[in-house]
Structure 1
Amino acid sequence: MITHQTTGYSACTSFLAGRLATVDGSTIIGRNEDARAAWPKHFVVHPHQEFSEPQIFKSNDNGFTLNLPSVAAKYTATPEWTDKFGLFEEDGINEYGVAMSATESAYTNSQALGADPLVTNGISEEAMVTVTLPYIKTARAGVLYLGNIIEKYGTAETNGILFSDNQEVWYMETAAGHQWVAQRIPDDSYAVVANQLAIQEIDFEDQDNFLFVPGLKEFVTQNHLNPHRNGFNFREIFGTHDLSDAYYNTPRVWYGQKLLNPGVVQAPQSQNLPFIRKAEKLIQVSDVAQILSSHYEGTPFDPIGIGDQRQKTQYRPISLAKTQESHILQMRPNLPAAIAGIQWLAMGVAAQSLYIPFYAGIKDTPTSYKNGSETYQPDSAYWIYKQAGVLVDSHYLEFGSLLADVQEKTTQQLLSNLHISDKMALTLEGKALENYLTSQSNQNAALGLQAMQQLSAQLITKMTDMSPLNFKQDMNL
């Protein structure tokens, strides 16, 4: 993610998996949205809308302006608490069963930027979900739709964008002002991406699995950007290869791949980690949650582990204090779109939160998920999760196990609820289905909030006896 101008640059970690790589045939995309330690997100549903008058989008961030289609599909989104600096809707699922997450921030090298500079008032992260997700009916169409906007208006940033439906998963990357490419994640494979241009060799003859801006090869040739005699490696041509990659980016990819391919020996700082891998076992949502919640557990690089101080701070972890929300967008097979799509949403820091399942077919979100500003609010879902995390942080060694116990027990109940509601949902349709999915999703949200509020109460009670003003009194005096 690239945040608004007052907060500077920040970054995320993404995950993608094809339908034959998962245990139940789902496609999965997910990402941590990282920006500031105290910058609330909301969760909303935009209804299906049809307009008779022309609609125009104008960004509060950089003035980017775009004419919009007259029909906008219903979609979910996680905007920021204020639109002063832009919407940053970030992720969601639309009524056609298409999921989108935007964006994974990356860098373009100076040579490529010199040939095609970024466009100051071009499309940027804050607008991408808003101007794309309501207007696409497949993941592939999403790539082409956004690609057309980038070609026409340019982009203000270098970004990675995730799209999925129940058949395909695509990862799209922008580079320089108007260049873009997208690769379909093979059905039996996965990818972890961490703030680098990740797509490698492009097969220009295989348009089933690669999409790209017209004239990409010619642009690279004319501007002498390809450092290799053979092949067309997008990462090598447009990306960066510096120390920030070695310490900030590649270790996160290394750890994600380590969790799914423990038998593969790789170095955390390697610049040659593959974009695409096949996991040793079929992937579950819980595996994705583990990756997005991870901080190098079981290695010396864990900030709360057993390594020395240098090791604990050597690499940037996947889950960190500046995560605003983490999402896993699961598109399940052989189900109506309203039931098939599950938006697993963890408010705040994924390592200290809960992934709550929301059906894509909901008509609204709980009030607490639409509350919350920059200052703590007790009726905000974001702040309820953040409060529990802050309390755990104060005595992590003492309280970490309490948090883990709450996470495990609550997640088991959420999964049980989902199994039950799936069966009931299949017997309903129309407004009855929409109302039921909303009710069940709200109940799941309430369960998570109650668990975290009870944990916070328990932690505060325990902390009353941890004051530095404590004194052991001799009762015989």
Structure 2
Amino acid sequence: MIYTIYLILNFSDVLREYTIPLLPLYSLNIYSPREKYTTMVDRRLIPFILLILMGFIPSGLGCTTFVVTDEASEDGSTFVGHSNDGFGVGLIGHEIREDMVSFRHIIAKDHPAGAMRPVVYDPNSGGEFLGEAPSSDTQTIIIGEIPQVNHTYAYITGSYGIINEHQLMTGECTDYAKIHPGAEKGKRIFYSSELSNIALERCKTAKEAVILIGELIDTYGYYGTGETLIFADPSDAWVIEMCGGTPDGTGGYWAAQRIPPGEIFVAANEFRIRELSEDNPDQIFAKNLKDDAQTMGWWKPEDGPLDWAQVFGIGEYSHPYYSQGRVWRIFDRLAPSLGLSPYVEGPFSKAYPFSIKPDSPVNITNALSIFRDHYEGTVYDLTAPPAGGPFGDPYRVWGPYDLHDAPYEGQLKPGSWPRPISTDPCGYSYICQGRANLPDPIGGICWLGMSSPAETCYLPFYTGIYHLPAPYLHGSHWEFDLNTAFWPYELLQNYARLMYSNMAPEIKAEQERIEGAAIANQSAIEAKALELYKTDERSAREFLTEYSSETALNALNDWKKLMGEMIVTYRNGNYNDVDNKTISNIGYPDWWYEYARYQYGPRVYDIQGLNAIPDVKYVGEEANITGDPISYIEKYQTG
């Protein structure tokens, strides 16, 4: 059954339809009939209504993405990062899969004249499929077709496109927009996942990619949540943001902006492009933005320049700082000289600029570390007591107010945990590296890590490879399988939470060993590949394929070994020295004993007398007492 709410509006004489998905079988349709009915709901209230209803949009998407331009890096590399922080049914390449932790290497292809490219519906889009669909949720739905090009490029893809053979890189995050339309053949056939794949199939440069995506949205329509896509090539970087909701129910909205050379851009589940101007050579946007914004009652020229984020978006996910906290943290880590405050005045604050110049050039080690942050040492520090527990666990069991629902204006929730950059629902993350001084098959790398970034190991997959190793082609978060790439990392991440402060340093040491070796080997591997490339490109690509696969498989085996060592070493909360066959009791820190009222444990027989003493503090000392034990304890009163 589908429940529908009808709102009668007087936008014009033309029938206009919107569909904002609530749950898989629920939708809100807004109609403007040809007949001139009396307005039942003031259209200025629509955004408010949508904010309330959007609490029902399926959650699970909360990614962070960034780009470091070539002039901001130490060696002229461009870096693009993306963390896929959610699970669900997703689009993997051209397949619908019950997971978001597997990958595909799509080969380059030639296509005959007149061929059509199918467009696949993404069930994780937040946009309900409107129309007849297969009975199985995992069965691929072809929602439309577009003319195919003569030749498509090879690329690596997961839930979204990642990097193609010409070093075109992309990252993504989901945003809330004012309207999230449903998918419908002939009206709205594109979501960002297919757009990112098609851009990698057809484009060589970042600007080509954003122009193509804008044209596809204008022509074929957009459904689902708002989205941010970053595109970067070795010498240029752009961000394009998009959403649906046009008055006639077709097409969509989009705005693109170039990231200035020498700077860094970050997005974290909130639109980041602000004032738009036709006179800005570094901006491109849909021609219908301003006219439609006026029609919808969202903006008028006397308001000043159209603010894309504020006019078409609704601000942060879930709670204050859900998005802006991560933007602040990455900016502050890379440019502490800016003195940016962790606090802002509201959801559309301009306290954090569109992009920033880092204090020091960024290298690959810096880039890999960006995603491994839990706000350590800041006002949002998730390892801090008491919430971090006795062993500084940076992850939280989510409660009802931590989910990805959109707060309505003025809503004050009982409390939410800070949303870190490294989060435990993460399926995978990567940092792509592009370099103009090397041939494309050698210059482009996807440093790919499974599970949470802080506890994973990033491994290099060159753009010139012919295939991915088998463990990366399979895997589901619904089915435990240590033969996949995902589960060894996921299992260790979960186990480490039992005694995080003890296990995290050992995990970090193994990360540094494996990643450090891969980084140290880069020059030699690439010199060998370049030597082969000069005489035979195929030999160079076969060499890189073998190296990438071998490195990933060896690391996977090393991680399984580390996982076993951690389980044995910290079994039952002890330190079990395997080499010496000894067991040491680790215990808890003094502050935790005090916080847990450990001083009222079974230390004396006169428990009533002990309870009668005010302000007893745990001091972590062993005593040998005679006489009245209570009089001894009284010495430690703070009174």
Q: Which TM-score applies when normalising by structure 2?
A: 0.66
Task: State the match for 2:362 in structure 1.
Answer: 283
> What CA distance in whole angstroms lies between the structure 2 residues aligned with 1:448 and 1:315?
32
Secondary structure of 2:66's partner? Answer: strand
Rg bigger for which structure?
Answer: 2
Per the TM alignment, residue 365 of structure 1 is displaced from its structure 2 partner at its CA by 0.9
The CA deviation at 1:414 is 1.0
Give runs of aligned pairs for residues 136-155 of structure 1, distance below 5 A.
Answer: 136-155=203-222
Q: Could you tell me how far 1:444 is from its partner in structure 2?
A: 2.0
Match status 1:419 vs 2:523? yes
Aligned position for 2:274? 200
Aligned-CA RMSD value:
2.8
- Which residue does 2:81 correspond to in 1? 30
In structure 2, the residue matched to 1:215 is 288
Q: Does 1:76 align with 2:155?
A: yes
Q: State the one-letter code of the partner of 2:68.
A: A
Q: Which residue of 1 aligns with 2:234?
A: 166
Residue-by-residue CA offset, 1:207-232 (whole Å, 9 max, x unaligned): 3x111112323333444433773323
Which residue of 77, 85, 96 maps to 2:166?
A: 96
More divergent stretch after superposition (4-13 vs 312-321) = 4-13
CA spacing shift, 1:471–1:219, aligned 2, 3 Å: closer
What secondary structure, in the 3-state scheme, does the structure 1 residue paired with 2:83 have? strand
For the Cα contact (< 8 Å) 1:34–1:325, is it kept in 2?
yes
| 1:287 to partner: Cα distance | 2.1
Kindly provide the amino acid, as one letter, of the partner of residue 393 in structure 1: R
Q: How many residues align?
A: 452
The 2-side partners of 1:342 and 1:58 are apart by 27
Question: 1:73, 1:95 within 8 Å by CA — same for their partners in 2?
Answer: no
Give the partner amino acid of 2:530.
L
Indicate yes or no: 2:502 matched with 1:398: yes
Deviates more, 1:454-463 or 1:177-186: 454-463
Aligned to 1:82: none
Alpha-carbon distance, 1:366 to partner? 0.9
* Aligned residue identity for 2:290: K
SS at match of 2:353: coil
Aligned-pair distance for 1:407?
0.9
Which residue number corresponds to residue 571 of structure 2?
Answer: 464
User: 2:558 maps to what in 1?
Assistant: 451
How far has the Cα of 1:463 moved from its partner? Answer: 3.4
Question: How far off its partner does 1:68 sit?
Answer: 4.3
1:118 aligns with 2:181: yes
- Closer, same or farther in 2 for the Cα pair 1:348/1:39, shift >3 Å? farther
Q: Are residue 19 (structure 1) and residue 92 (structure 2) matched? A: no
Stretch of structure 1 that moved more, 454-463 or 158-167: 454-463
CA deviation after TM superposition for structure 1 residue 119, in Å: 4.5
Give the C-alpha shift of residue 70 in structure 1: 4.1
Give the corresponding residue for 1:335. Answer: 438
| CA shift in 2, pair 1:246/1:465, >3 Å | closer
Q: Which moved more, 1:34-43 or 1:402-411?
A: 34-43
Q: CA shift at 1:239, angstroms?
A: 2.1
Whole-angstrom distance in 2 between the partners of 1:242 and 1:11: 11
**Equivalents in 1 of 2:210, 2:276: separation in Å?**
16
Secondary structure, aligned partner of 2:423: coil
Cα separation, 1, equivalents of 2:291 and 2:329: 37
**Equivalent runs, 1:31-430 vs 2, <5 Å:** 31-36=82-87, 39-52=99-112, 54-60=115-121, 61=123, 62=129, 63=141, 64-79=143-158, 88=159, 90-101=160-171, 103-109=172-178, 113=179, 118-121=181-184, 122=188, 123-156=190-223, 157-177=225-245, 178-207=252-281, 209-226=282-299, 229-241=303-315, 244=318, 246-270=320-344, 271-272=349-350, 273-306=352-385, 314-373=417-476, 374-429=478-533, 430=537
Secondary structure at 1:65 match in 2? strand
Residue 257 of structure 1: how far off its partner (Å): 1.0
Structure 2 portions without partners, runs of 5+: 1-20, 25-56, 89-97, 124-128, 130-140, 246-251, 397-415, 575-582, 586-639
Structure 1 residues 302 and 154, CA gap change in structure 2 (3 angstroms): same
Q: Secondary structure at the match of 1:248?
A: coil
* CA distance, structure 2, for counterparts of residue 399 and residue 306 of structure 1: 18
Opposite residue 328 of structure 2, the aligned amino acid is W
Q: Which has the higher contact order (CA 8 A, sep 6+)?
A: 1
Q: Distance in 2 between matches of 1:39 and 1:463?
A: 31
Aligned-partner Cα distance in 2 for 1:145–1:28: 22
Q: Pick closer, same or farther for the CA change 1:68–1:451 going to 2, 3 Å.
A: farther
Aligned to 1:436: 543
Answer whether contact 1:75 1:92 (CA < 8 A) is retained.
no
Distance 1:153 1:343, change over 3 A: same
Cα distance change of structure 1 residues 242 and 364 upon mapping to structure 2, 3 Å threshold: closer
Stretch moving more, 340-349 or 40-49: 40-49
Deviations 1:306-364 (A, max 9, x none): 46579986311111111111011111121111111111111111111011111110001
Q: 2-side partners of 1:243 and 1:449: how far apart? A: 34
Deviation at 1:245, TM superposition (A): 5.3
**Quick check: 1:41–1:78 contact (8 Å CA) kept in 2?**
no
Identical pairs, percent: 24
Q: Report what 1:84 is aligned to.
A: none
Between stretches 145-154 and 52-61, larger displacement belongs to 52-61
CA distance 1:289–1:378, shift in 2 (3 Å): same
**Shift of residue 170 of structure 1?**
0.7
Partners in 1 of 2:338 and 2:554 — Cα distance?
39
